[in-house]
Structure 1
Amino acid sequence: MEKFEKLTGIAAPMPLVNIDTDMIIPKQFLKTIKRSGLGVNLFDEMRYDRQGNENPDFVLNQPAYRDAEILVAGDNFGCGSSREHAPWAIKDFGIRCVIAPSFADIFYNNCFKNGILPIALPQEQVDVLMKDAEKGANARMTVDLEAQTVTTSDGESFAFEVDSFKKHCLMEGLDDIGLTLEKASAIDSFEATIGAERPWV
């Protein structure tokens, strides 16, 4: 998993509340178990018309936000079903940080496991970031995980809270498999001991 330390990038404004996981990645795209390839279908029903043409009014289709790496959204982001395909699609599109007043718990935890930093901030601070994001590609935000701050293009900074263990995993690029592999020598030693003691197993 890619390390997350400090990110400076374009932020896309999406001032919608209750964006659920079916809006993020509709159910017809859940057949795959691959983490790649879902970015093209991120927000599919808002992003394309029934003929598969891009909706020019949708924020991520606008030239200023096609390379967005940060998403500023409304309250209760990631609600609905617990599909892990939602953070897969977000990450595959290129978004590495989502900022909102609140998140659904399962989606929030799945983000950390997939290299995405979800940041919960008070509504009034999200409103400031939303306005900054609306400035377009020339207004770049900076997210500093080590310092736990989000800074607008004008230099206004907000502090955020994050669990120390989740922060460590993101900064070191460790998902669940990576955490397990950190104990590889201990696992090998245990297996060798058990193999000698119980050769029939």
Structure 2
Amino acid sequence: MEKFEKLTGVAAPLPLINVDTDMIIPKQFLKTIKRSGLGVNLFDEMRYDDNGNEKPDFVLNKPAYREAEILVAGDNFGCGSSREHAPWAIKDFGIKAIISTSFADIFFNNCFKNGILPIVLPKAQVDVLMKDAEKGANARITVDLEAQTVTSSDGEVFQFEVDPFRKHCLLNGLDDIGLTLEKAPAIQAFETRMTAERPWV
């Protein structure tokens, strides 16, 4: 998993509340077990018309936000069914951090497992960042995980909380497999000892 330390990038504003996982990645795209290739289908029903043509008014179809790495979203982002394809699609599109007033629990946890930083801030601060994001590609927001700060393009700084263990995992690029591999010497020592003590097992 890619390390997340400090990110400065374009933020796309999505001021919708209760964006559920079916809106993030519709059910017809859940057949794959690959984490790559889903970015093109992110927000599929909002991004494309019935003929597969882009809707020019949708934020991620606008030239200023095609390379967005941060999403500023409305309340209760990621609600609905617990599909890991949702963070897969977000990450594959190129978004590495999401800022909202609240997230659905399962989606929130899945973000960390897939290298995405979900940031919870008070509504007044999210509103400031939403307006900042609406300025387009020239308004670049900075997310500093080590310092636990979000800085607007105007230099306004907001502090956010993050679980220390999850912070450690993101800073070091550790997913569940990476965490297990950190314990490889201890696992090997245990297996060697058990083989000697219980050769019949």
- Tell me whether the two structures share a fold, i.e. TM-score over 0.5: yes
Letter matched to residue 168 of structure 2: H
Q: What is aligned with 2:42?
A: 42
- 2:161 match: 161
Q: CA deviation at 1:193?
A: 1.5
Amino acid paired to 1:196: A
Following superposition of structure 1 onto structure 2, how do residues 65-76 of structure 1 map, counting pairs within 5 Å? 65-76=65-76
Q: Who is 2:78 aligned against?
A: 78
Aligned to 1:91: 91
The amino acid that maps onto 2:18 is: N
Matched, 1:152 2:169: no
Give the structure-2-normalised TM-score: 0.99
Shift of 1:110: 0.6
Deviations for 1:49-95, whole angstroms, at most 9, x for unmatched residues? 11111111100000000000000000000000010110000000000
SS of 2:118's equivalent in the other structure is strand
Q: How does 1:25-40 map to 2 (within 5 A)?
A: 25-40=25-40
Residue identity opposite 1:78 in structure 2: G
Equivalence for 1:107: 107
2:120 aligned partner, one-letter code:
A
Please list the CA deviations of residues 132-164 of structure 1 after superposition, one character each: whole Å capped at 9, or x if unmatched.
Answer: 000000110000001111000010110001111
The Cα shift of 1:197 comes to 2.2
Counterparts in 2 of 1:17-28, with a 5 A limit? 17-28=17-28
CA distance in 1, matches of 2:108, 2:126: 17
| CA distance in structure 2 between the aligned counterparts of 1:28 and 1:184, rounded to whole angstroms | 38
- Distance in 2 between residues matched to 1:16 and 1:126, nearest whole Å: 12
Secondary structure at the counterpart of residue 18 of structure 2:
coil
**Matched residue, 2:173:** 173
Q: What secondary structure sits across from 2:194 in the alignment?
A: helix
Alignment match, 2:193 = 193
Shift of 1:191: 1.1
CA-based RMSD = 0.6
Q: Percent identity?
A: 84
Give the Cα separation in 2 of the matches to 1:101 and 1:142. 18
Alpha-carbon offset, residue 192 of structure 1: 1.3
Kindly provide the amino acid, as one letter, of the partner of residue 55 in structure 1: K
Instruction: Letter of the 1:109 partner, please give it.
Output: N
Cα distance in 1 for residues equivalent to 2:71 and 2:58 = 13
Unpaired runs of 5+ residues, structure 1, are: none
CA distance in structure 1 between the partners assigned to 2:195 and 2:90 by the alignment: 43
TM-score (norm 1): 0.99
Corresponding letter in the other structure for 2:145: L
Tell me, what secondary structure is at the counterpart of 2:147? coil
> Aligned partners of 1:28 and 1:199: how far apart in 2?
49
**Which digits, 9 at most, give the CA deviation of each residue in 1:16-75, with x for residues without a partner?**
000000000001101111111110100000000111111111000000000000000000
